[in-house]
Amino acid sequence: MTTNKDIKTDPFSDTSNQRIIIKRCNLDDLDGVIKVNEEELPEDYPYFFYKSILDNYPESFLLAQNDQGKIVGYIMWRVEKSPSLDSLRYINNGHLVSIAVSQDYRKRGIAKSLLTHSMQATKKYKIHEYVLEVRVSNYNAIKLYERFKFQIVNIKKNYYRDGENAYYMTLKTKKRLD
Ligand SMILES: CC(C)(COP(=O)(O)OP(=O)(O)OC[C@H]1O[C@@H](n2cnc3c(N)ncnc32)[C@H](O)[C@@H]1OP(=O)(O)O)[C@@H](O)C(=O)NCCC(=O)NCCS
C-alpha cells in the first residue's frame, strides 16, 4: 500500500477557484484513474498494468483531485535501464507511461503540476533522460512537453494500434537529478 507522506500535496486554486490537490495514487484510487484514462485516451490498459506501475514506481504515480475528491487527472512513469554511451554501466531513463486530464479541467495548469511533481519524485532513481511517445496529431500534448523542454528526436512509424505515428521526445537532464 502506498502512502502520501513523501509528496507535498501542493493544493492550488485553478481558474474556476476549485481547489485541486496533487497527490500520490493509492490502490483505492486506481478505478478513478482508469476512468479518466478511458474517457480521455484511446490507449487503455488492463487493471494489472496500472497495479504493476503503482507497485514498482509509486513515487511518480500521481493524481489530481478536485474539492469533492473526484480524480480529474493522473500521470504515471516507469524507469528503464539502458547501457550508457561507454557501455560500462547502466543508466536510468524515466519513461512517461501516460498522462491525462479530464476535459472540464484542462488548461488550468493541472498537467504542468503533475509533470513537475512527478519528475521531481523520480529523483531517487537518478534519471539521466526522460523519454516519451506522443501522437504526431496531439498538438496540446506536444506543446505541453515542449514547454518542459522535451525535444522531438525521432518518429516511430505505426506506433499506435490505429497506425498513427508517434514522435519520440526526450529531455536530457543536464545534471543527473540526484
Ligand atoms: C495534454 C493534456 C494532458 C494537457 O493537460 P492540461 O491540464 O490541459 O495542461 P496545462 O493546463 O497544464 O497546460 C500546460 C501546457 O500545455 C500546453 N497546452 C495544453 N493545452 C493546450 C491547448 N489546448 N493549446 C495549446 N497548448 C496547450 C501549453 O503549453 C500549456 O502551457 P501554457 O498554458 O502555459 O501555455 C490534456 O490536454 C489531455 O489530457 N489530453 C488528452 C490526453 C493526452 O493526450 N495525453 C497525452 C498523451 S501523450
**CA proximity to 73, closest of 42, 112, 104, 99:** 99
State the pLDDT at residue 3.
39
* Percent of the chain residues topping a pLDDT of 70: 87
pLDDT at 178 over 50: no
Give yes or no for residue 100 CB within 6 A of ligand 1: yes
Compute the average pLDDT of residues 1-10: 44
| Confidence (pTM) | 0.91
Domain residue limits, the chain: 12-172
State the pLDDT at residue 11.
55
pLDDT tens-digit series, residues 12-52: 555 556 799 999 999 999 999 999 999 999 999 999 999 99
pLDDT at 131 over 50: yes
**In three state form, how does the secondary structure of 26-44 look?**
CHHHHHHHHHHHHHHCCCC
Q: What is the CATH number of domain 12-172?
A: 3.40.630.30
Q: Ligand 1: which atom is nearest the Cα of residue 132?
A: 48
Is the distance from CB of 130 to CB of 93 less than 8 angstroms?
Answer: yes
CA distance 17 to 20: 9
The dihedral built from the CA positions of residue 53, 58, 64 and 67, taken in this order, carries a sign that is positive
**pLDDT averaged over every residue in the chain:** 89
State the pLDDT at residue 13.
54
State the pLDDT at residue 123.
84
Mutate to test the pocket of ligand 1, among 20, 144, 164, 171 (most ligand atoms within 8 A of CB): 144
